[in-house]
Amino acid sequence: MVFANKGAFEQLRSVITCTSHGRETGGGLFGTINGSKLTISEATFATKDRQRASCRIDLERLERQERAHQADGDGVVLLGTWHLEPGHGDLKPSKADLRHWVDMVSRGRRPHFVGATIRRRNAWSLGWDTDAANLRAHVFSRTPTGGVDCSAVVDLKPSPWMLP
């Protein structure tokens, strides 16, 4: 199961409102793993190339951020990536998204990888507020035979009771 705390939603809101401007934006999802529970506590910006309908995640930046967490000894690791989709409505990931996420879990050190997309709920939604957007997380896991499966699809939502 995957969860996100209030701080991660606030960071996403900040990045989205400052950088979207009609182009895809993306970055990393950092947090902790406790058995099969993945808790996202940090969302960072890490985009190399931003286009209207695609972006390239800066994996080197994410690796540097993960090394900084390792040096701090805080137990926070790279759990996955997120990106803002230009459209609204349909939450089905693109073929390019699926390839990226499967590749990341295939070559990663951990058995799970979270791929998250953010879309406006409808055509008349104004701006990119995480309260008025759909944040869908796809959790990919290695299978015992060495393959990769989508093990969960979770709609993450900020709630007033969440911890910072």
Number of domains forming the structure of the chain: 1
Give 58 or 52, the one with higher predicted confidence: 58
Residue 164 in domain: no
> Looking at the domain assignment, is residue 103 inside a domain?
yes
Residue 114 forms part of a structural domain: yes
Percentage of the chain beyond pLDDT 70 is 76
Tell whether the model's pLDDT for residue 68 goes beyond 90: yes
Q: Is the pLDDT of residue 9 over 70?
A: yes
Supply the pLDDT for residue 159.
62
Residue 30 pLDDT level (bands cut at 50, 70, 90) = very high
Q: Is position 100 within any domain?
A: yes
Q: Give 109-159 pLDDT, tens digit per residue.
A: 778 889 988 876 665 555 555 556 778 888 988 888 888 888 888 888 766
User: Is 162 domain-assigned?
Assistant: no
Q: Could you tell me the CATH number of the domain that includes residue 71?
A: 3.40.140.10
Name the strands in the sheet holding 133-142, side by side, starting at the edge strand that comes first in the sequence. 2-4, 37-45, 26-34, 77-88, 112-120, 133-142, 148-156
Concatenate the DSSP letters of all residues of 77-122 into one string.
EEEEEEEEEEEES--PPPHHHHHHHHHHHHHSSSSEEEEEEEEESS
The pLDDT value given to residue 56: 81
Q: What is the mean pLDDT of residues 13-22?
A: 68
Give residue 69's pLDDT.
92
Task: Say if 95 falls within a structural domain.
Answer: yes
Residue 28 is assigned to a structural domain of this protein = yes
Predicted model pTM = 0.84
Say if 101 falls within a structural domain: yes
Structural domain that includes position 150 = 2-156
- Residue range 27-45: average pLDDT? 90
